[in-house]
Homo-oligomer: A and B are copies of this chain.
């Protein structure tokens, strides 16, 4: 190639770059041209805003995948037609025998069949939103290279409420948000409806999410005033065709702050009348308003206990007037008190289990997966299985408050799978947490049958929505698991990788493997062996295991690790021989308790969560605990290095823009993993007084260096 031609080619490549590169805005709905598929035409199926949304998505998706516009026709005219809708919307569908009774209210059937001699793919449902979900499922099959098979499948969600909790303030600050400002541009609402709201709804519908709590659990009564209800109504109008209902957070003291009452006592008639009127008012703005999410008597939020009432009193006060409109209450079990000296891990159980059976039918108690607070690893919360008369809703955190913010690649599917597969043993073996939240456990039939899963959203105004490309996988995985808590984290990761990057096996296999190992890496370089909450206080960015001088004991990392000259860990077994055990293990069902109460039976990855053990304890690896601790920290850093190598090998298989951002973030992750490792090893060594195991490098800086670091502007502060 001569020089001149080379230059011309280079110029052509440069010119091509902007068009070829991708910025992540399209999420897993990229619909890039792929191998020719079986679809030739789409049979028009509109008739409601939801079916119109389904048709728009099918036109967009099928045309994008085909690389050419797909014709929309009135009835199948050739083989390769796609037909979608409900028996009500389509006489053709009504005429087929599809077994739609298996699809339930929100599910769908996708079947390859023939109509008038033409091969047709039918996407059918009992409801418009079911057809929309089916359309997305069909597009997913095409995107992941499964479009050529003969199809015969049925799917319906295993939980009823699949909700994103946005911890978004009215000033657009997102608490624990690492993806820029809130996507809700309250100031410009209702006059300006950002097209992004529609794309948010599309993304949610594509994975079955059917609810959005628009406002922060640390609630602001202003969100319940008419100007903000008008804004919420405008958002609800955009989300409605996609099956996404709007919820708000209720500040318990709103009757005082907005209503001018002297009390917010849930048994006070004026208070009850105020809430009834407020709820009736909300439904005038949003006729299908979903209900309230409430954080009460937790971390300074007002609540019924301010008036010596119970959580049930508070929840039921709201539930009554909501029930009249079909609304529900999600009441959080995330409570711990500054006055309570009980092990923080025990407090939610202590407060809530006695209330089992006392909540109104349209109340769910929303329980975080672990007993503390979204740590890299926690055991499952003992509440699961312990409140058979109450629907327990899972609360996962999609945003990575404790997992390195947006710049650490940590796929949370494996963490959630671990939590959902955890066996409570309350009705014998196989009494998994997944079954609890699906309402399938024996005993659970005594409650209303409401079920749900909530995820604290990782969505913001950043162009790529989630702050990083791989954090999109966590949004995706949450939605998929909420639809079906039995799905495997690996299959979800694979779906996501195929849709987000490529079906090339040379990419899919290593990238999925990288994702599958990523959470364990984070556990290793942050909080191995059951350690927890070593993050810098307040912002939770980076390591600060040395902090021990804050007023409230549970604000201090030292509260959680309890390292001393003799060993490390929080003794939560039964108190014996003056071991100071908090007896948190007794909150689990007897068979589980027997395991966790015994350090010899406790899985090593939770050992220091449940037990204070000697630095010299022998671990299954043959190493001492101290050596094992250092080994795990080293291993975490090493895994991140391996992740970088895995990604670097994908350079030619990923567009330049996304490749570069992921590579840069992985470099940050490696730096920060090293920082975590060095700071924690330096600190714990100052207590263990033991030498580093052979081959383990000393920390780069003395401990004082790490202690002196400050991060006054770490994002996402509460």
Q: Find the B residue at minimum CB distance from A17.
A: B60
Q: How far is the CB of A476 from chain B (nearest CB, A)?
A: 21
B contact residues around A172 at 8 Å (CB): 713, 715
Structural contact, B15 and A64, CB atoms closer than 8 A: yes
A11 CB within 8 Å of chain B: yes
Known: A72-B10, A461-B461. A664 touches B4 (CB 8 A): no
Known: A56-B14, A713-B170. A71 touches B181 (CB 8 A): no
Structural contact, A69 and B12, CB atoms closer than 8 A: yes
Q: How many copies does the complex hold?
A: 2
A463 CB within 8 Å of chain B: yes
A661 CB within 8 Å of chain B: yes
Contact string, A592-620, partner B, CB cutoff 8 A, digits 1/0? 00000000000000000000000000000
Question: Which of B59, B74, B171, B188 is in CB contact (< 8 Å) with A14?
Answer: B59
A180 CB within 8 Å of chain B: yes
Question: Which of B15, B63, B668 is in CB contact (< 8 Å) with A188?
Answer: B668
B contact residues around A7 at 8 Å (CB): 44, 71-74
B contact residues around A703 at 8 Å (CB): none
Separation of A546 and B4 alpha carbons in the complex (Å) = 71
Structural contact, B712 and A4, CB atoms closer than 8 A: no
A671 CB within 8 Å of chain B: yes
Q: Find the B residue at minimum CB distance from A42.
A: B11
Which one, A154-162, A189-197, A486-494, is touching chain B?
A189-197
Measured as residues with beta carbon below 8 angstroms from the partner, the interface class of chain A is 35 or more
Structural contact, A668 and B191, CB atoms closer than 8 A: yes
A8 CB within 8 Å of chain B: yes
B contact residues around A664 at 8 Å (CB): 191-193
B contact residues around A195 at 8 Å (CB): 657, 660
B contact residues around A56 at 8 Å (CB): 14
B contact residues around A667 at 8 Å (CB): 191
Q: How far is the CB of A389 from chain B (nearest CB, A)?
A: 41
Most buried by B among A18, A73, A664, A713: A713
A200 CB within 8 Å of chain B: no
Separation of A496 and B712 alpha carbons in the complex (Å) = 41
Q: How far is the CB of A306 from chain B (nearest CB, A)?
A: 24
A3 CB within 8 Å of chain B: yes
A187 CB within 8 Å of chain B: yes
A222 CB within 8 Å of chain B: yes
- Find residues 642-684 in chain A having any chain B CB closer than 8 Å to their own CB: 657, 660-661, 664-665, 667-668, 671
Separation of A59 and B660 alpha carbons in the complex (Å) = 22
Known: A7-B44, A187-B713. A180 touches B668 (CB 8 A): no
Structural contact, B69 and A186, CB atoms closer than 8 A: no
Known: A60-B15, A69-B11, A71-B8. A186 touches B3 (CB 8 A): no
A70 CB within 8 Å of chain B: yes
Contact string, A397-409, partner B, CB cutoff 8 A, digits 1/0? 0000000011100
Structural contact, B222 and A712, CB atoms closer than 8 A: yes
B contact residues around A712 at 8 Å (CB): 170, 222
- Find residues 1-36 in chain A having any chain B CB closer than 8 Å to their own CB: 3-4, 7-8, 10-12, 14-16, 18
A261 CB within 8 Å of chain B: no
A714 CB within 8 Å of chain B: yes
Question: Which of B63, B406, B657 is in CB contact (< 8 Å) with A15?
Answer: B63
Separation of A659 and B42 alpha carbons in the complex (Å) = 30
B contact residues around A4 at 8 Å (CB): 71, 73-74, 77
Structural contact, A191 and B15, CB atoms closer than 8 A: no
Is the contact region of chain A dominated by helix, strand, or loop, or is it mixed?
Answer: helix
Separation of A668 and B661 alpha carbons in the complex (Å) = 37
B contact residues around A715 at 8 Å (CB): 171-172, 187
Contact string, A330-345, partner B, CB cutoff 8 A, digits 1/0? 0000000000000000
B contact residues around A14 at 8 Å (CB): 56, 59-60, 63
B contact residues around A665 at 8 Å (CB): 191-192
Structural contact, A407 and B71, CB atoms closer than 8 A: no
Separation of A181 and B665 alpha carbons in the complex (Å) = 20
Known: A11-B71, A180-B180, A181-B180. A187 touches B63 (CB 8 A): no
Known: A171-B715, A192-B665, A222-B712. A69 touches B180 (CB 8 A): no
Known: A4-B71, A71-B4, A188-B407. A713 touches B11 (CB 8 A): no
Known: A180-B180, A712-B222. A191 touches B657 (CB 8 A): no
Separation of A410 and B127 alpha carbons in the complex (Å) = 48
Separation of A372 and B72 alpha carbons in the complex (Å) = 62
Separation of A478 and B714 alpha carbons in the complex (Å) = 33
Separation of A407 and B405 alpha carbons in the complex (Å) = 32
Separation of A188 and B664 alpha carbons in the complex (Å) = 10
Most buried by B among A14, A70, A405: A14
Q: How far is the CB of A324 from chain B (nearest CB, A)?
A: 31
Q: How far is the CB of A710 from chain B (nearest CB, A)?
A: 9
Separation of A659 and B170 alpha carbons in the complex (Å) = 28
B contact residues around A187 at 8 Å (CB): 405, 713-715
Structural contact, B713 and A186, CB atoms closer than 8 A: yes
Separation of A171 and B178 alpha carbons in the complex (Å) = 12
Q: Given contacts A14-B59, A15-B64, could you give 17 more A-B pairs where the C-beta distance is less than 8 Å?
A: A4-B71, A7-B44, A7-B73, A10-B72, A11-B42, A11-B69, A11-B70, A11-B71, A12-B69, A14-B60, A15-B60, A16-B69, A172-B713, A187-B405, A188-B668, A192-B661, A193-B664
* 30 intermolecular pairs with C-beta atoms under 8 Å apart: A3-B74, A4-B74, A7-B71, A7-B74, A8-B69, A8-B71, A8-B73, A11-B42, A11-B59, A11-B70, A12-B69, A14-B56, A14-B60, A15-B60, A15-B70, A16-B69, A18-B60, A170-B712, A171-B713, A172-B713, A180-B180, A181-B181, A186-B713, A187-B714, A187-B715, A188-B406, A191-B665, A192-B665, A195-B657, A222-B712
| 3 shortest interchain CB distances as A-B pairs | A12-B69, A8-B71, A191-B668
Spell out A's residues near B (CB within 8 Å): 3-4, 7-8, 10-12, 14-16, 18, 42, 44, 56, 59-60, 63-64, 69-74, 77, 170-172, 180-181, 186-188, 191-193, 195, 222, 405-407, 461-463, 657, 660-661, 664-665, 667-668, 671, 712-715
